[in-house]
Chains A and B, each alone.
Chain A
Amino acid sequence: LAKTTQPISMDSYEGQEVNITCSHNNIATNDYITWYQQFPSQGPRFIIQGYKTKVTNEVASLFIPADRKSSTLSLPRVSLSDTAVYYCLVGDGNTPLVFGKGTRLSVIA
């Protein structure tokens, strides 16, 4: 199980781009990088998943360098409603979905 390290918390103003970096130095060849978002009093929600390079969807972008030892979740032009905890998970189909402490993002008006 690849260990992940991400900042405990981040603050941002509305309208800014937010980048949350996750370190996973011992990522295995078969592992994918997955991010979940959890709003207060709600269950986690899948945001994005990638293996290498860049993945983009309507919510976020995920940047993965060639060595795959880290990844960056990018949220464009955040709003107050993006205030949430963001979890980085690394693994494959045999890796249980176990959450760490995540990064608590606070968006300020």
Chain B
Amino acid sequence: EPEVTQTPSHQVTQMGQEVILRCVPISNHLYFYWYRQILGQKVEFLVSFYNNEISEKSEIFDDQFSVERPDGSNFTLKIRSTKLEDSAMYFCASSEAKGIRAEAFFGQGTRLTVV
């Protein structure tokens, strides 16, 4: 079964450092997403990406965040200057079509710890 893969599975970084989280969506999918989940809290939407541009973003997705599809397979989330409160599990997802109507496939997540 095709799957979304994320790397690394764990990342520890110092406050103020830049991190890049990587995702390989399912190959024929067109819509890509990033979510985060702070320990014990709900899954929070960050951003959706389609046709090489951001289609929607939440209030959380401020100027310190950026996304990119640098080649035909990878989808990345960059956090420019990490803060302690950025510590969370970050999930990438992809789907063939947009919105709730389409089944979204999630990766296993990257656990980011900012110290």
Q: Which residues of A contact B (CB under 8 A)?
A: 31-32, 34, 38, 41-46, 49, 87, 89-102
With A43-B106, A43-B109, A97-B33 known as contacts, the answer to whether A92 contacts B42 (CB < 8 A) is: no
Question: Are B43 and A92 in contact, CB atoms less than 8 angstroms apart?
Answer: no
List residues of B whose CB falls within 8 A of some A CB: 4, 33, 35, 42-45, 48, 56, 89, 91, 93, 95, 97-109
Contact B106 A93 (CB under 8 A): no
Residues in A neighbouring B42, C-beta threshold 8 A: 99-102
Q: Which residues of B contact A102 (CB under 8 A)?
A: 42
Contact A96 B99 (CB under 8 A): yes
* Smallest Cβ-Cβ distance to A92: which chain B residue: B101
How many angstroms between the C-alpha atoms of A97 and B97 in the bound complex?
11
Q: Which of B100, B107, B108 contacts A97 (CB 8 A)?
A: B100
Could you tell me if A43 and B100 are in contact, using CB atoms closer than 8 angstroms? no
Q: Min CB distance, A82 to chain B, in Å? A: 18
Q: Give 23 pairs: A residue, B residue, CB < 8 Å, sorted on A.
A: A32-B101, A38-B43, A41-B109, A42-B106, A42-B109, A43-B91, A43-B107, A43-B108, A44-B91, A91-B101, A93-B99, A93-B102, A95-B99, A95-B100, A96-B48, A96-B56, A97-B48, A97-B95, A97-B99, A99-B42, A99-B43, A99-B44, A102-B42
